Amino acid sequence: MKETWYPSHLRTLSTAECLELLATASVGRVAYCTDDSPVVLPVNFVLSGESILFRTSPHSVLAQHLRHGRASFQVDDYDDYTQSGWSVLVRGEADFLEYDELPPPEGRPEPWAEGTRTFHVRIRAREITGRRLIPA
């Protein structure tokens, strides 16, 4: 197989396009730094303005590390067959929301996994970037 067979085109997405794609997704990956290495975990989330909202347990490693601020959030969708897809990366700061800061109930994230996930985490975007891979 030749390496130059049907390579796809990579195109940069605008912030508006990135937000549109974020609004269509229900699962993304939150990344944070530890002393040892960066770590990433999937969570289900909702988009609230330009912020990402999700829930975690107060005892989770996620809750412990996100206290320190910097975090990012990544969402993508791919098709293996046509080798195309898109990805969006939100870089910013994480914080915990107080009850009175939460959006109305229909706009709140509902965790898929069982357990007491009472912490609402917000990642406020400082930078939103995205790329789309268009089939040749």
Partner 1 sequence: MLDVMSTFEDLQQSTLTELTRRECLRHLRSTRVGRIVFSDQDGPAALPVNYRMDGDSILFRVSPTSDLCLRLDRSRVAFEVDRLDDFHLTGWSVLVRGTASYAEADDLPEHRADRPLPWARGPRHTYVRVTPDRITGRQLIDEEGSVRT
Residues binding partner 1 (CB under 8 A): 1, 3, 7-10, 26-27, 29, 31-33, 36-42, 44, 69-72, 74, 76, 78, 80, 83-85, 87, 89, 91, 105, 110-115, 126-127, 133, 136
Determine the 3-state secondary structure of 44 from DSSP.
strand
State which residue, 48 or 83, has the beta carbon closest to partner 1: 83
CB of 39 to partner 1, least distance (A): 5
Nearest residue (CB) to partner 1, 19 versus 89: 89
CA–CA separation, 53 vs 123, rounded Å? 7
Residue closer to partner 1 by CB (options 100, 104) is 104
- Cα 119 to the center of its chain, rounded Å: 17
**C-beta of 27: minimal distance to partner 1 in Å?**
5
Q: How far is the CB of 17 from partner 1 (least distance, A)?
A: 17
Q: Of 85, 88, 56, 83, give the one whose Cα is nearest residue 72.
A: 88
If the CB atoms of residues 19 and 32 are measured against partner 1, the closer one turns out to be 32
Min separation Cβ 14 and partner 1, Å: 18
Smallest gap from Cβ 16 to partner 1, in A, equals 21
Q: Are 65 and 39 in contact (CB under 8 A)?
A: yes
Mind giving me the DSSP string for 72-105? EEEEEEEETTTTEEEEEEEEEEEEEPPGGGSPPG
Alpha carbons 7 and 97: distance in angstroms, whole number? 44
